[in-house]
Amino acid sequence: MIISIIAAVDERGGIGRENRLPWHLSDDLKHFRRLTMGHHVLMGRKTYQSSAGKMPGRKLIVLSRDPKFAAEDAHVVSSFDEGVEFARTAGEQELFVIGGAQVFAQALPVAQRFYLTQVHADAKADVHFPTYDRAEWKELERNEFSAGPKNDHAFSIIHLERVNTAP
């Protein structure tokens, strides 16, 4: 099973503000939907709570340290590894890790793909993507999008793959 990270990150590494995305990028949301539709998506509890009910067609896995946390439309796990194993056992071919920062930090060492949306702005975020070595990733594809009525900012969607990923 392939483990993929999918994240939108501003110029300063920001990914969120006040438990929400700090921008609206319609073209990026379409890209996210197209990639993740029909797949398992793994996220932290705060990410789940900020997007609850907005991800039909995906199998949700929520990572929470709270043993009492429950979600009707998601499978709740207590560790990143447990979430990965749940998706693997279900026959998933590509698991998408969608946030937040702590979950991204756990996924970075094992992810083989990284679908990065580079937002060309400073969104004054209060949550940031973890530091990573860009040299560990090879760029396979890049698409540019302009700011406009549907996109708050210009951005690039970049498909990266880990260099020297073992089969």
The per-residue pLDDT for 52 is: 65
8 Å CB contact between 80 and 44: no
pLDDT in tens, 135-149: 999 999 999 999 999
Q: What is the pTM of this model?
A: 0.95
How is the chain split into domains, by residue range?
Answer: 2-162
Tokens of 150: 């549907």
Assigned fold of 2-162: Dihydrofolate Reductase, subunit A (3.40.430)
> By C-alpha distance, which of 164, 159, 165, 166 is closest to 5?
159
Rounded to whole angstroms, the Cα distance separating 98 from 104 reads 7
Average pLDDT, rounded, for the chain: 95
